[in-house]
Structure 1
């Protein structure tokens, strides 16, 4: 609990105590932030554990590519090998949609989720992505995409 007047907060932990300064300002109204986002143009529902496993298989790159296509989601591994996660409920896209993520950041958001399936919603590949529990829509995390490095190859297209 913070002390009146902005006095530092003393936190006790197994190694002793630590003084933590209290930051000023108002906590952002997250409902207003979510309401201000554009309507999602792309949605995918996928098995949360399988997506986490695909990200874990990537190792420690700075970016991975997720490509949404008809009833599939591809995670492009650092060597360019696509790792399909099927089935994935994706609204049919005229062209595949690719978006880049830091796998550690997206993975942490997925780990914090609940339920077997996750819903990813975004309006553009450069804007925030809503990561929601498909079972409990009130559990929401925002994840920012990253620019895909030019060396990350485009995965070969597979027929659906």
Structure 2
């Protein structure tokens, strides 16, 4: 087909096709020696379309060539690497832009609180596991930071999990303050935060400035959307009816087995074990546990329960169960400063 027809089929312009031919990324199937007209075949449409899409995600020509000439698995890896790099650069650009904008204002940041860098970094990483990337609800990707006269509380939720951790300030807080901070930007700042013995948090008009001792300051945007009213949900929770204490490592290994998308837990009244299985068939794996309270069967999505358990601090986890249709509270058996709530799902019938 002539170059004009091929251009319409692939979404590329004729000039772009000439450029890619000169770059040897997409050579014509045939070139008329007399007129110089270029012709392409239907078999080349797939490569041309892939080339256009890769360029739309700002992939450089050398990387495009590597993807087009690689096998499916290697090509997928190269694409993932490129996207991760682009996202990282975008987050870094947002943070730098925030610093520049804040420096243009005559009003300095409001000192809020000082925290130990390694402790803050750990807390951010733990709590951010409960965030979600949702274009329609970007606030679910944020971390709620609340400072009062005694403590700093970090909270995140994706509507199926809610994680919260309370930190003790290194110095008495200078102000009572709250904001929802962009989670991706906090993740990017964690590396530098961890290397600083002391982090001073300052509030600005558009975000937070993290002043690091001996290192370059970090800046994270605040999100303007209203954070979910999680306290109303917490206040409405019924009393805990069953408490299970189990070794964290044993429970994680059980969850890592091939259980499928759903995990079922069963506990007997005041029993000595926790039964773990996939789908709607409790009892496949029996773990030594201490059970206080009534018998209960409860089911979770694996992607909801596993992160809640894996981020718990210490060798043993405590599961506070309220019923098969109520959130379970997951926390360390000996440290209560990190708490995660995980929402169960309806048990799957054995015939499905």
Deviation at 1:68, TM superposition (A): 0.7
Counterparts of 2:253 and 2:319, CA distance in 1: 16
Name the Cα RMSD after superposition: 2.9
Alignment size in residue pairs = 138
Are the counterparts in 2 of residues 132 and 139 from structure 1 also a CA contact under 8 Å?
A: yes
SS in structure 2 opposite 1:125?
coil
User: 1:107 aligns to what?
Assistant: 306
User: 1:53 aligns to what?
Assistant: 253
After TM superposition, the score normalised by the length of structure 1 is 0.72
User: 1:147 aligns to what?
Assistant: 346
SS in structure 2 opposite 1:142?
strand
User: 1:137 aligns to what?
Assistant: 336
Q: Which moved more, 1:73-82 or 1:34-43?
A: 73-82
| 1:126 has 2:320 as partner | no
Counterparts of 2:272 and 2:320, CA distance in 1: 15
User: 1:34 aligns to what?
Assistant: 234
Deviation at 1:35, TM superposition (A): 3.5
User: 1:3 aligns to what?
Assistant: none
Are the counterparts in 1 of residues 324 and 344 from structure 2 also a CA contact under 8 Å?
A: yes
Counterparts of 2:280 and 2:349, CA distance in 1: 13
Query: Which residue of the other structure, out of 89, 96, 111, is the alignment partner of 1:16?
Result: 89
Q: Evaluate the alpha carbon distance shift between residue 39 and residue 15 of structure 1 in structure 2; reply closer, same or farther with a 3 A threshold.
A: closer
Q: Evaluate the alpha carbon distance shift between residue 133 and residue 151 of structure 1 in structure 2; reply closer, same or farther with a 3 A threshold.
A: same
| 1:82 has 2:284 as partner | yes
Structure 1 alignment gaps of length 5 or more: 1-11, 153-160
User: 1:4 aligns to what?
Assistant: none
Deviation at 1:78, TM superposition (A): 5.3
Counterparts of 2:319 and 2:301, CA distance in 1: 15
After TM superposition, the score normalised by the length of structure 2 is 0.35
Counterparts of 1:105 and 1:22, CA distance in 2: 26
Are the counterparts in 1 of residues 261 and 279 from structure 2 also a CA contact under 8 Å?
A: no
Structure 2 alignment gaps of length 5 or more: 1-84, 95-181, 183-220
Q: Evaluate the alpha carbon distance shift between residue 14 and residue 46 of structure 1 in structure 2; reply closer, same or farther with a 3 A threshold.
A: same
Are the counterparts in 2 of residues 42 and 122 from structure 1 also a CA contact under 8 Å?
A: yes
Deviation at 1:146, TM superposition (A): 1.2
Are the counterparts in 2 of residues 122 and 128 from structure 1 also a CA contact under 8 Å?
A: yes
Q: Rg larger in 1 or in 2?
A: 2
Counterparts of 1:90 and 1:67, CA distance in 2: 11
SS in structure 1 opposite 2:344?
coil
Structure with the higher helix share, 1 or 2: 2
